[in-house]
A and B are shown apart, each in its own frame.
Chain A
Amino acid sequence: MQIPLSLQFINLLAALLLLIAFAMLTQRRILSLINLFALQGFVLAISTFVVAYSTSQHHLYYSAGLTLLLKVLLLPWLLHRLIRKLNVRWDVETMINIPTTMLVGIALVIFSFNLAAPISQLAEGITRGLIGIALASVLLSLLMMLTRRKAVSQVVAFLSLENGLFFAATSATQGMPLVVELGIALDVLVATFIFGIFFFQIRETFDSLDITHMEKLKDD
């Protein structure tokens, strides 16, 4: 069976997304992490655009535009500004055990492919089988959140988690209703602003953006 060109292209982009998720998992430099996040958003916007074109779902053009605006331009710009103001632009995170993290990541990918297999069977149309990849990138972002110790990289992980979810929405369902997507975009934007406020509060209080300082609250 001949696979249509658009589907091949979307599959390629999905693979790229997964690759970027792995790259983010192991990236130590905060600046490069933010650039990777912007790249992820860009790939996401293109894939949304391709889905929109090949299924002629007009509202997906809007979400592709929204993604481009929010996740490729606005949020990375905000983050760049933040790390410049906070003077953590050149920070390098010390991470232990990158190989182990990678292995756990691979295990997560296998797990999500298995979990999504019965659902992928049901999917029709061009985007069949991409749910596994979407779930994998969601779980990889979760893993990244767990392994990071800097507030900024945790936030980037949080935002890339949202990217994975957005990919799930476009690939599995060809886009949620527009009102829901707008609501989600608004929430993400507000969340980023609040994160920004937090960075300053945390820095002011702890003299550092290292969240290892924030493990004092215990039950006793």
Chain B
Amino acid sequence: MIDSQLLALLLIPLSGGLLLAVFGSRSWAAELNSLMSFGTFVASVVLTMRIIDSGPQVAFGEEFFIDQFNVFLVALTAFVAFTTSLFSRPYMRIEQHHGKLSIGMLHLYYSMYQMFTFAMLVALTTNNMGIVWVAMEAATLTTVLLVSLYRTPASLEAAWKYFILCGVGIALALFGTILLYFAAERLLGQGGTALLWTHLNQVKSGLEPTVLKLAFVFLLVGYGTKVGLVPLHSWLPDAHAEGPTPVSAVLSGLLLNVALCAVVRSKVLVDGSLGTHFAGNLMMGFGLLSVVVASLSLFRQKDIKRMFAYSSIEHMGLITFAFGMGGPVATFAGLLHMTVHSLTKSAIFFAVGHAVQKVGTQQMENIRGLMQVSPTVGWGLALGTFAILGMPPFGVFSSEFLIITTAMHEYPWATPILLVALGIAFAAIFGKIQPVVFGETTAKRLPHPPALIPVFAHLLLVLMLGLYMPPYLADWYRQAAALLG
């Protein structure tokens, strides 16, 4: 039963990728892309209901493992992938109309979009720490040609940087995985089971601490490169700014989460082996550094997508910090923040994408007065910005509030740093977005109507999470947080 539900979840995007590899240049490719993403979303909902009903499950001879924690990310990934496919349908057509993309490029885009979804879902659901690595690398490989889709010098540079830096980072993660296997082999024996997370989790207290310590450093640095943690973040703003906007939305909203999921899974093992707060401290350090460096960089940004990419680094830092603190409340807050950040950031990128199409530039000083020419895009961007800056009543406020109050209790020294960094980020982003939204206009009409339903659907969800969290959802998060300890 669980096997077939999981199979549907993985096979739909895989077959979507193959179908679009054949039919990607047909006129209905965009619709097929959305349809496949919708199918994946439905499959993820079915799987989620199942897991909520009956708890953690293994599938396919223990090769896959789904619990409350990763099923929540599966649902989030499938949902945002679906809404992004809705957004990309008119967006990519407008790009084509503007002569920026050819049919062949669109063909590549649709096929790789589905393959990327597939790679992320495998990385999330697999039980094998080695396959996590393989799937994360596959996720890089599928997106690297999408970042350079426009074939401009800047986009090629961004894609090359992304490829090389993430390649190196992920190679270090492989070394960490090898060390983990080395430690596990002594307890679990040769062969298949020694890399299965569920087995590792059972024997984690017996894993050799010296090896695990070193393994975690490599895993954190490796997957941390993909999360965008400072000082390994330099690929992220380039890739987000130069790639097509739907790709920025899924990179920022989804890929970073998936990489963080791998880090968190490793942390659980290392904590069990060491019995100290070593892994947590490292994550808190990297998280705090990312929050501070990213918010200080925000002031210097002129490119609107680049600025929101730095904002993603800041928020991923905050989430890493929350998971690093550990404990039920902080982990709960981290999970909530993952959700609201994904939804809000992708909504912002949708609005930014259309705004950039209207004015034909990503330089913020040339984007003015969105409210006048297109109130919906303007409001989308304004509300999204409010939400991401942590204004009540949006959900980001609740999760940031929880993170900061927990920090006050547990690590009082970190609180002023966090507050100042968030304050700086607020001033920087608000100061730059305000004239973009209001002010005198320079924009023109678009050849296709923009897709704004995804923007407001996401923001509505974030608003809902801020105002009222349904008890079953809170329960679900609490169970996931309990699993992570």
Contacts and interface: CB of A to CB of B under 8 A. Distances in A.
Interface in B345-401: none
B175 A135 contact: yes
B153 interface: yes
B195 A165 contact: no
Interface string B160-178: 1101100110010011011
A184 B130 CA distance: 9
Interface in A115-155: 115, 118-119, 122-123, 131, 135, 138, 142, 145, 151, 154
Contact of B168 (A115, A145, A186): A145
A177 interface: yes
A194 B144 contact: yes
A172 B179 contact: yes
B156 interface: yes
B192 A138 contact: no
A79 to B, nearest CB: 16
B78 to A, nearest CB: 23
A186 B178 CA distance: 18
Contact of B300 (A138, A205, A220): A220
B438 to A, nearest CB: 24
Interface string B135-148: 00110010011001
Contacts of A162: 171
A214 B156 contact: yes
Q: Is the interface of A mostly helix, strand, loop or mixed?
A: helix
B133 interface: yes
B134 interface: yes
A179 interface: yes
A151 B141 contact: no
Nearest to B234: A217
B134 A183 contact: yes
Interface stretch (A13-21, A28-36, A68-76, A195-203): A195-203
Interface string B223-239: 00000000000000110
B168 A216 contact: no
Interface string B190-213: 111011000000000000101100
Interface in B274-330: 297, 300-302, 306
Contacts of A9: none
Q: Is the interface of B mostly helix, strand, loop or mixed?
A: helix
A122 B210 contact: yes
Contacts of B144: 194
A180 B168 contact: no
Contacts of B158: 217
Contacts of B131: 179-180, 183
B157 A217 contact: yes
Contacts of A198: 148, 156, 159-160, 163
Contact of A211 (B160, B194, B306): B160
Interface residues of A, number: 48
A176 B195 contact: yes
B185 interface: yes
Contacts of B237: 219
Contact of A142 (B168, B178, B182, B208): B168
B214 interface: yes
Contact of B154 (A154, A179, A194, A216): A216
B41 interface: no
B151 A138 contact: no
A86 interface: no
A213 B153 CA distance: 9
A90 interface: no
Nearest to B192: A177
Given A119-B211, A174-B190, A180-B128, A138 B171 contact: yes
A192 to B, nearest CB: 10
Contacts of B128: 177, 179-180
Contact of B178 (A176, A187, A194, A219): A176
The range of chain B's interface size is: 35 or more
A184 B163 CA distance: 16
B130 A219 contact: no
B151 A205 contact: yes
Nearest to A220: B300
> Most B CB atoms within 10 A — which of A57, A183, A211, A213?
A183
Nearest to A57: B190
Interface string A168-190: 11001110110110011011001
A206 interface: yes
A180 B130 contact: yes
B109 interface: no
A64 B300 CA distance: 51
Contacts of B177: 176
Contacts of A115: 214
Contacts of B426: none
Contacts of A173: 178, 181-182, 185
A153 B160 CA distance: 14
A45 interface: no
B174 A172 contact: no
Interface of A: 57, 115, 118-119, 122-123, 131, 135, 138, 142, 145, 151, 154, 158, 161-162, 165, 168-169, 172-174, 176-177, 179-180, 183-184, 186-187, 190-191, 194-195, 197-198, 201-202, 205-206, 211, 213-217, 219-220
When A and B form their complex, which 3 residue pairs have the shortest distance between CB atoms, in order from nearest? Answer: A180-B130, A183-B134, A214-B157
10 contacts: A145-B164, A158-B171, A165-B174, A168-B178, A169-B181, A173-B185, A174-B185, A183-B134, A197-B145, A206-B156
Given A179-B130, A190-B141, A197-B145, 18 more contacts: A122-B211, A131-B182, A165-B175, A169-B181, A174-B185, A177-B130, A183-B131, A191-B167, A194-B141, A198-B159, A202-B156, A211-B160, A214-B153, A215-B157, A216-B157, A217-B154, A217-B242, A219-B301
